[in-house]
Amino acid sequence: MISMVMVAVGVYARLLKHAEAAMACLAVDPAILLVVVGVLTFLITFCGCVGSLRENICLLQTFSVCLTIIFLLQLAAGALGFVFSDKARGKVSEIINGAIVHYRDDLDLQNLIDFGQKEFSCCGGVSYKDWSQNMYFNCTATNPSRERCSVPFSCCLHDADQAVINTMCGHGMQARGYLEASAFIHTNGCIDKLVNWTHSNLFLLGGITLGLALPQLVGIVLARLLINQIRDQVKLQLYNQQHRADPWS
C-alpha cells in the first residue's frame, strides 16, 4: 500500500512538470526517484505477500533473494563509503554540482536544495561561488540574467525576528569576497557541512541503518522457513500418495 502511494505521488508530481524541465534533469528528479523506489518496493513486497498467501515457492524465493541483495548492497555501500571516503565525497560533490546546474529546471529539486541549504546553513557545493555553474547565476559579464552573480535566498543569513523573507538577499553576492559576503550569506559549502554532520551523528545513522536492516533479516529468515515448511509438506504428500498407491503397504 505504501509503495503504491509512493508511485502515485511520484507520477502525479511528474505530470505536473513541464516537458522541457522533465527531460533536462531526468537523472536528478526526486519524482522519478520516488516512482522507481515505489515500483521496486511494490514488486518485492508483492512477491512476499502473494507467495506466502498462495504458498508459492518461486515467489517466496524471489522475495528472499531480492531482500538478500538489497541487504548486501547496503552493507557494501556502507563499507565502501568508509573505505573509499574520498571517492564517496567526490560522488557527493558530483551529485550536488549536477543539482546546482538544474536548480531552476525542476521545482521539486529547487525546494530540496533550498531545504538542505537552510538546514545545514551552507551555500553551494564547496563554496557559494559554485552557483556560477548555474546558467541563471553565472557570474560572467555576458550573462543577461537578472540573477547574474547572485545566490539563492536559502543561502542568506536570516534573523529570527524577520517575518518576511527577502528573496533578493543573495543578489550580487558572488562578486563579493568571502569576508564581505559572510556578513549576508553562508559562504561555506554544503559538502563539508554534510561530512561534518555525518561524523557527528554516526550513532544515529548506525541506529537508522540497523532499524532498516533488522526487518530485512527477519523477512529473509521467515521466507526461508516458510519455503522449507512448504517443501516438507510437498514431500509428505508425495510420500502418502506413493504409499496409498502401493497395494502391499
**168-185 pLDDT tens trace:** 889 999 999 999 999 999
User: Residue 21 has which C-alpha cell?
Assistant: 524541465
Report residue 132's pLDDT band, with 50, 70 and 90 as the boundaries: very high
Domain-wise residue ranges, the chain: 1-54, 55-241
What's residue 245's pLDDT? 59
In degrees and rounded to multiples of 5, residue 141 shows phi and psi of -70, -20
Return mean pLDDT, the chain.
84
Higher pLDDT, 26 or 203: 203
Which residue from 117, 193, 205 is spatially nearest to 155, judged by alpha carbons?
Answer: 117
Which residue from 208, 193, 237 is spatially nearest to 96, judged by alpha carbons?
Answer: 193
Higher pLDDT, 82 or 154: 154
Report residue 18's pLDDT band, with 50, 70 and 90 as the boundaries: low
Reported as half-sphere exposure (CB side, CA atoms, 13 A), residue 198 has a value of 13
Are residues 14 and 32 in contact, defined by beta-carbon separation less than 8 angstroms? Answer: yes
Q: Is the pLDDT of residue 134 over 80?
A: yes
Mean pLDDT of 60-87: 83
What's residue 28's pLDDT? 53
pLDDT digits (tens, 9 = 90+) for 219-232: 999 999 999 999 98
Q: Is the pLDDT of residue 137 over 90?
A: yes
End-to-end CA distance of the chain: 51
Across 62-71, 151-160, 195-204, the highest mean pLDDT is recorded for 62-71
In degrees and rounded to multiples of 5, residue 170 shows phi and psi of -95, 10
SS3 213: helix
Are residues 66 and 220 in contact, defined by beta-carbon separation less than 8 angstroms? Answer: no
Q: Is the pLDDT of residue 27 over 60?
A: no
What's residue 104's pLDDT? 86
User: Residue 231 has which C-alpha cell?
Assistant: 517443501
Q: Is the pLDDT of residue 23 over 80?
A: no
Assigned architecture for domain 55-241? Orthogonal Bundle (1.10)
Mean pLDDT of 114-126: 92
Share of the chain above pLDDT 90, in %: 37
